[in-house]
Amino acid sequence: LYSCQVVTEKLSRAAVVERAAKLADAEGVEAVTIRRLAQELGVTPMALYWHFKNKEELIFGLVDHLLAEVTATRRPEDPPLTQLRAMVETLVAAMREHPSLAGLLHMKDQGEVPSLTRATEDALELLARIGYTDVREGYAVASYLLHGAIGLVSTEPGCPTFMNPEQAIEWRRQKRRNLEALPAAEYPMLTEFASTVEQPPDLEHYYTFGIDMLMRGVGPATS
Amino acid sequence: LYSCQVVTEKLSRAAVVERAAKLADAEGVEAVTIRRLAQELGVTPMALYWHFKNKEELIFGLVDHLLAEVTATRRPEDPPLTQLRAMVETLVAAMREHPSLAGLLHMKDQGEVPSLTRATEDALELLARIGYTDVREGYAVASYLLHGAIGLVSTEPGCPTFMNPEQAIEWRRQKRRNLEALPAAEYPMLTEFASTVEQPPDLEHYYTFGIDMLMRGVGPATS
DNA sequence: ACCTGAACACCGTTCAAGT
DNA sequence: ACCTGAACACCGTTCAAGT
């Protein structure tokens, strides 16, 4: 009814990117293909080349679109570390909403994505205020936080990114079986872990635990 | 003279995997293709399907091979955190030797790669000794370390993974130009960063700084 | 057991041509 | 300005057939 290919209006960058986002969320990045996208939009594959130089530019557009929806929740009056944590939390939230985002961000250099540039600048400013006055170190810390967040959602327990509940259960069962196939004498920890893997995980606990770890890294050394 | 396709001996899993590793190191993972690999080995693409069920299995074999070369340097008499750090350091070293490894490890679940299973078990044991008695938390910490290490080499300053020196210089110049194109008033930190990006980075400092951050995450909280 | 030939269903991309 | 048709050079994979 409202969908893009029924009402045949003119193709636009925005329409393509939105459709790409829909596709990526539903079937993963690997489904986002020039030809497939064109088909969904009721158009010839070559039509996309009018709006995008090549596929890479399209993917950049996609990443930017997924990130643009993120609204910053940090408050300027909070202490720097609190604001930094808020930024990480919004980033994680964005990747949880759009499972393909984590994989996409992993490749693209953070300097190449416009929506990340603003965030990086702000992070550098906050980091300078807590003592990372060398901007190169600051950049390293910012990268650490970005990739740490990516890592968190990439290894979210339960199932790999997206799956319907039925598949997820089967996937966990399979994972448990794999772990239990290990010789228990040589792998005591992993066989113990096997027994915990089938029950659905407490994701909120996982993420606060994970972000705590991440943030501890930027704080002062203790060892 | 000694190369695989001149002396036409029988194809083997090991030969294929070694050639794949060579190719990945030289031209990146995206060059590792069934058809290309077959060509290098002087054989038909379909020949590989006798030794590997499909490409995914071949890639698993590749990852396993790259990781297998890693020799553990930790000493059992050291305190757990020291051993853990040594494990992270060897992992980082392996990824620095084989630039494609980081990208490969990012996708594959750590439970699926045999060479990682042993490392995960050992890490869980060490983590239990420093207080992570809940094996699920331990697994989260181990994943954090793995992905943190991946993140470090992924954002190594200088150039993206591999490039000849000539390209690397051009790449840095381009990166600097991109950063300097930003409006200086709105992006003061990044424009300051721009001036540092062209000089060759101190990689050893970068990595010890990065691993320090990582390890601080597993230590006790301080905020 | 180990490899080839031919074929299928996919990719991204170019380039001339249409409207 | 915006889109199509036809073509090119690539993919991974299957399946029957060769030795």
Q: What is the pLDDT of residues B37-59, one digit of tens each?
A: 999 999 999 999 999 999 999 99
CA distance A114 to chain B (A): 10
Say how far A45 CA is from C12 C1', in Å.
Answer: 10
pLDDT over 60 (residue B223): no
User: For residues A145 and A81, what is the distance between their CA atoms, to the nearest angstrom?
Assistant: 12
Counting every residue, how long is chain B?
Answer: 223
pTM: 0.92
Tokens of A150: 């990516």
Indicate the DSSP class of residue B72. Answer: P
Q: Which residues of B touch A144 (CB under 8 A)?
A: 148, 151-152, 210, 213-214
DSSP, residue by residue, A141-202: HHHHHHHHHHHHHHT-SSSSS---HHHHHHHHHHHHHHHHTS-TTT-HHHHHHHTTSSSPP-
User: For residues B101 and B117, what is the distance between their CA atoms, to the nearest angstrom?
Assistant: 16
User: Cα torsion at A62, A63, A66, A71 (round to 10°)?
Assistant: -140
Q: Which residues of B touch A155 (CB under 8 A)?
A: 109-110, 140, 143, 146-147
pLDDT-derived band at B142 (thresholds 50, 70, 90) equals very high
Q: Do B140 and A209 touch (CB under 8 A)?
A: yes
Nearest to A176 by CA among A162, A193, A159: A193
Mean pLDDT for B108-131 is 92
Q: Classify residue A81 by burial, with Cβ atoms within 10 Å: 0-12, 13-18, 19+.
A: middle
User: For residues B95 and A101, what is the distance between their CA atoms, to the nearest angstrom?
Assistant: 23
Q: Do A136 and B219 touch (CB under 8 A)?
A: no
Chain B touched by A120 (CB under 8 Å) = yes
pLDDT given at position B6: 44
Q: Please report the residues numbered 127 through 186 in chain A whose beta carbons come closer than 8 angstroms to any beta carbon of chain B.
A: 128, 135-141, 143-144, 146-148, 150-152, 154-155, 157, 160, 175, 178-179, 182, 186
User: For residues B8 and B21, what is the distance between their CA atoms, to the nearest angstrom?
Assistant: 19
User: For residues B59 and B187, what is the distance between their CA atoms, to the nearest angstrom?
Assistant: 42
User: For residues B77 and B15, what is the distance between their CA atoms, to the nearest angstrom?
Assistant: 38
Quick count: other Cβ atoms within 10 Å of Cβ A148?
Answer: 26
pLDDT tens track for B61-76: 999 999 988 888 899 9
For chain A, the 3-state helix, strand and coil shares in percent, each to the nearest 5, are 65, 0, 35
Cα distance between the two ends of chain A: 61
User: For residues B79 and B84, what is the distance between their CA atoms, to the nearest angstrom?
Assistant: 9
Tokens of A161: 């990114």
pLDDT given at position A3: 38
pLDDT over 80 (residue B220): no
Contact B184, B191 (CB under 8 A): yes
CA distance A3 to chain B (A): 33
Q: Using the CB atom, is residue A82 less than 7 Å from strand C? A: no
Q: Using the CB atom, is residue A206 less than 7 Å from strand C? A: no
Residues ≥6 apart with Cβ < 8 Å to A148? A88, A213, A214, A217, B144, B147, B148, B151, B217
User: For residues B73 and B79, what is the distance between their CA atoms, to the nearest angstrom?
Assistant: 14
Tokens of A133: 């006055």
pLDDT over 50 (residue B2): no
Averaged pLDDT of chain B? 91
pLDDT tens track for B154-206: 999 887 666 677 777 888 898 999 999 999 999 999 999 999 998 888 999 99
Nearest to A193 by CA among B134, B143, B145: B134
pLDDT over 60 (residue B8): no
Per-run averaged pLDDT (10 residues), chain A, 223 residues: 48 96 94 98 98 97 92 92 96 94 90 90 97 97 97 87 74 90 96 92 96 94 50
